A and B are shown apart, each in its own frame.
Chain A
């Protein structure tokens, strides 16, 4: 939005605010129920207020009030319209808050709430709220975004007598663009297929173990693993945890074409383990020109995304 448009919007909102302030107090819908003991009970239970003057008739009779009174802080409760009845009587605030919404100030946060209780309420009194807009200021730049502070006052009447007042102020703001916060990591695109024969390896990697299949009968080690021992036909599979060291048996440095998920150039090696099997993995943590046959490595583990961990290999001395 251009600055010109922004300033004409400001004029429009300010004019609307002044008009609504001039409207003065507008009476709302009377409370559905008179001040009553069951609602007081619910409220004091919920708030943990144990004062017996609100609920114990005998106690209250002996108090300065001479009868049960309602907790003053409960004032809003009596005339809250509830969700289903929210569109009751009009309020002078409707046009202002609606105009702010329409112009992108869709965020709302209550900033001030001050209540004044003129007297205690007695059972059976029926309250009527009345609202008047008292102020609007802005635009203000806040941590939440640019917005307008809007203030109004509600007065509760019992008959013609004002019994309580509440000043309420909100900030209506334009939500900031979402910061590029560290979102859930994009899934690494190069995923292994895992099945019953290989799950132990990938489970191990997640736990920081380099597991090598070991035949449960003849003890032969095997990588990559498979369901049947080629030496003794056993399907009794176990595994050992490798020492995590190895030596480059062969390697490549991939330049072209680009590979999804990995920045080129990168090194991949066939690594001979002291346990007597070979495994393929990336050599990382050193300049590519240092990678060579015979290079001594140790394993490390890298989280590729929220689910996949891959074993990686770094120079032994590092």
Chain B
């Protein structure tokens, strides 16, 4: 069977600074990140023939193409479901390159999520749309269940009940991420680690989630250049080979509110992604030297470790205990500090960190990383990648 594994690579990464108020338009942020990624790869805009972004991105592919001087495009697509799109953009790009639909595809995500529209703020319009998503939301929004933190908290409560996990267990994720961010100059929380006590003392957002269980809000942009593995070998940077790419949606899936399927203590959609990644790459959890686990809210980091097979069901609290996911732990997770510590760029900044780990150029480098797993937004249909050294 034809496999996508090993045929393509991430050849360039680029980003703007991560801030709370970029002071410029989202289109400018996108253009800056795309330029940075192309410069990193040693490619010019005229060599790009494909663009992929999120359905939530406000910058059309053609607008970005005009802005950075990309000419003809033979491939453009968008990936849906919020932050679940992150790794999906690379998957779509890789499929386009592997099939010859395009030769060089740039994936980008750019937003002023802090100074512009903030995802964490209640939007009364969520339940007002007669679209299928609006109808989903209409079973929740009238009761005030309308923020990402609240939707995740509903799962977290059931997870705690089922497996005996505690708020401290969630807090250990936040502490690890902030520890990593503290030594990453690009991170918003550079130099600002936290303790478990600070996590516990932080205000309630939606019980059982404290403020420090929730990732920050950020302005910024990240772009990635995907091309064939063969071509990538001739470019400036060591290629980060796409060993596997997968999307996943589970039975009874909803956008953040999959409360009606049998079990609320897992993330079946991430199980779909995990099975796809292991099968396509022929690798196993033990082959990963690091992982980038989507961390918009701490509880789902635990669920993902279980769904991906890094530990058994309900065992994540033990897996993360005693610094298990810190840089010197048995599975370093998010050495850049994740979205809790570095920035919330909808998961794209995590993919960039995975590439740096493969290259061996991260400020928080985890020894030699042969393979790194990356996940995208959780609670929604999602996606994942395994990137590998050549």
Residues of A within 8 A of B (CB): 188-195, 197-198, 223-224, 249-262, 265-266, 268, 270, 277-282, 293, 304, 308, 310
Contacts and interface: CB of A to CB of B under 8 A. Distances in A.
Nearest to B159: A250
Interface of B: 120-122, 124, 127-131, 134-147, 150, 153-155, 157-158, 161, 203-208, 211, 257, 259-260, 264
23 contacts: A190-B124, A190-B142, A190-B143, A190-B144, A191-B142, A192-B127, A193-B129, A193-B134, A193-B135, A194-B138, A197-B135, A223-B260, A224-B135, A249-B264, A252-B153, A252-B206, A256-B203, A261-B144, A268-B140, A278-B260, A280-B139, A280-B145, A281-B143
Contacts of A194: 130, 138
A195 B334 CA distance: 43
Given A260-B124, A304-B142, A310-B143, 9 more contacts: A192-B138, A193-B130, A193-B131, A193-B135, A193-B137, A249-B158, A252-B206, A266-B144, A280-B257
Contacts of B211: 256
Given A249-B158, A250-B155, A191 B127 contact: yes
A197 B139 CA distance: 13
Given A223-B260, A254-B150, A310 B142 contact: yes
B171 to A, nearest CB: 17
Contacts of B207: 252-255, 265
A259 B122 contact: yes
A37 B138 CA distance: 70
Contacts of A254: 144-145, 147, 150, 206-207
Residue of A191, A256, A308 with most chain B CB atoms under a 10 A cut-off: A256
Residue of A197, A253, A278 with most chain B CB atoms under a 10 A cut-off: A253
A119 to B, nearest CB: 74
B144 A262 contact: yes
Contact of A252 (B136, B141, B150, B264): B150
A260 B126 CA distance: 12
Given A190-B144, A190-B146, A268 B154 contact: yes
Contacts of A195: 130, 135
A215 to B, nearest CB: 16
Given A192-B142, A259-B146, A268-B143, A252 B127 contact: no
Contacts of A188: 142
A280 B264 CA distance: 14
A251 B259 CA distance: 11
A10 B129 CA distance: 60
B305 to A, nearest CB: 21
A315 to B, nearest CB: 17
B157 A250 contact: yes
Residue of B134, B155, B207, B264 with most chain A CB atoms under a 10 A cut-off: B207
B158 A250 contact: yes
Instruction: Give the 10 A-B residue pairs with the shortest CB-CB distance, closest first.
Output: A192-B138, A253-B207, A250-B158, A255-B204, A252-B153, A262-B144, A259-B144, A268-B145, A193-B134, A270-B259
Contacts of A198: 135, 138
A259 B259 CA distance: 21
A277 B140 CA distance: 15
B260 A224 contact: yes
B134 A255 contact: no
A191 B206 CA distance: 21
A282 B143 contact: yes
Nearest to B208: A252
Contacts of A265: 204, 207
Given A223-B260, A270-B264, A255 B138 contact: no
A279 B143 CA distance: 11
Contact of A280 (B129, B130, B131, B143): B143
A189 B124 CA distance: 6
Given A193-B127, A250-B155, A250-B161, A224 B136 contact: yes
A224 B258 CA distance: 11
